[in-house]
Structure 1
Amino acid sequence: MQSLFFQGFGLSAGLIIAIGAQNAFVLSQSVRRNRPLLIALICASADVLLIALGLTGVGSIVASSPRLAAWAAWGGALFLIVYGAAALRSALRGAALEPDHDALPGLRELLLGTLAVTFLNPHAYLDTLVLIGSIGGQYPLEQRWIFGSGAVAASLAWFLLLALGGPLLAPLFRRPISWRLLDVSVCLVMWSIAFSLLRDRWPPV
């Protein structure tokens, strides 16, 4: 059971911590101390909603069909391999976060901006509804929610880390080497989970 929790945690963490518009937005507002906890809770709540929908909707459909489950496992593994390769490429290329220092947005603009970078981001649906939902949907109902709770825990932990540690992390992540180390870690997590999916589906010798 613990392995399922940590598999969900590792998959979600690897997907969430990659450089993207949402993380840049959360961290930049955290650096400015502009309601970072509110932003983090909105982003984490959105992940909880999408992960739950994936596990109850897409996951249930996949779990009901062995053929779909097999395709989901192979498709998920392929996506994770490609995703890990993209993270490795980003690590080799290098990147840095440079939050802008314009006037702070008001509460309304802040809420709209948070919802936009969350729900207008196609990767959010791919990561939660499709990928996490499909992989989690391979397990029986009780195990599925253990897997999902690990994914949710990773989301909560990451966004709270960005919110509370933003002022300390921002100077660090302006250095390309920090993003490179993070991207390498993402690559290793994605490839290790892909390997476990392929290993479970590979015919016995």
Structure 2
Amino acid sequence: MMIWLTGFGTGLGLIVAIGAQNVFVLTRGMRGDHPVAIPLACFLSDVVLMTLGVGGLGAAFASDRTALALASAAGALFLAWYGLRSLRAAFGNGALVADADSSGKEGLGKALAATMAVTLLNPHVYLDGVVLMGSLGSRFPGNERWSFLGGALCASLLWFFGLSLFGRILAPVLSRPRTWRIMQAGICALLWFQAAGLGRFAVSRFAASRFF
């Protein structure tokens, strides 16, 4: 049970930080766009990525300093770009449009394609789901490793569905243009902070791979 709780806490700690994927789920939840399909797609992506990581791919990838540095640099660029989108929204005149008829305006296929794009094209997702979870999970022997994975996946399931629901609850507040702009500015700051951290990590890995 303790190992399951360790996995749950670790998974939650990695997932909860506001990133591009969480921003996407939250904003879609605010609009009521496919509140089951979108978080389910994110969760199933975590199932695949975390299973690969804990299964051994994460530890193998982490041992390659050059590959880790390249992935970190790509993740930093992705987060910086997504933060720029939020910054532009913060200085725009838009606001959240959420009404009783907003749910399902976008087709399911298009919504899932957008979900997969923001998930699988984000290198940060691979660093968290495959490399970090894999490296941490590799410390546990045998079945304990899968108990750790089970806890992390439960955290993912609860988080994404909770985030979608929370977004819908917040929709009336965030439909105000000023509140929406403040939130977008805050998201930009958080994403750029993460991008800076990943960028510094990438530089350190590049330096290590060069001299050792």
Q: Does the Cα contact within 8 Å between 2:59 and 2:131 map onto a contact in 1?
A: no
Deviation at 1:169, TM superposition (A): 3.9
- Kindly tell me: are residues 46 and 99 of structure 1, through their superposed partners in 2, closer, same or farther at Cα, counting changes over 3 Å? farther
> Partners of 1:122 and 1:60 in 2: how far apart?
16
> Partners of 1:148 and 1:30 in 2: how far apart?
27
How is 1:96-111 mapped onto 2 (pairs within 5 angstroms)? 100-101=96-97, 104-111=105-112
> Partners of 1:59 and 1:19 in 2: how far apart?
22
Query: Secondary structure of the residue that 1:36 maps to in structure 2?
Result: coil
Tell me the equivalent position of 1:151: 152
1:118 aligns with 2:151: no
Ranges in structure 2 where 5+ consecutive residues have no aligned partner:
73-89, 191-212
> Partners of 2:32 and 2:160 in 1: how far apart?
14
Deviation at 1:40, TM superposition (A): 0.5
How is 1:1-205 mapped onto 2 (pairs within 5 angstroms)? 1-2=1-2, 4-58=3-57, 100-101=96-97, 104-170=105-171, 171=173
Deviation at 1:126, TM superposition (A): 0.5
Q: Does the Cα contact within 8 Å between 1:136 and 1:147 map onto a contact in 2?
A: yes
Deviation at 1:116, TM superposition (A): 0.4
> Partners of 2:31 and 2:58 in 1: how far apart?
39
Ranges in structure 1 where 5+ consecutive residues have no aligned partner:
63-67, 69-74, 80-96, 184-205
TM-score after normalising by structure 2: 0.60
Q: Percent identity?
A: 44
Can you list the C-alpha shifts for 1:25-58, whole angstroms capped at 9, x where unaligned?
A: 1111111111111001000000011111111122
Structure 2 residue identity aligned to 1:113: A
Deviation at 1:60, TM superposition (A): 7.2
TM-score after normalising by structure 1: 0.62
Query: Secondary structure of the residue that 1:55 maps to in structure 2?
Result: helix
Query: Secondary structure of the residue that 2:149 maps to in structure 1?
Result: helix
Larger mean CA deviation between 158-167 and 36-45 belongs to 158-167
Tell me the equivalent position of 1:93: none
> Partners of 1:60 and 1:99 in 2: how far apart?
43
> Partners of 1:22 and 1:59 in 2: how far apart?
20
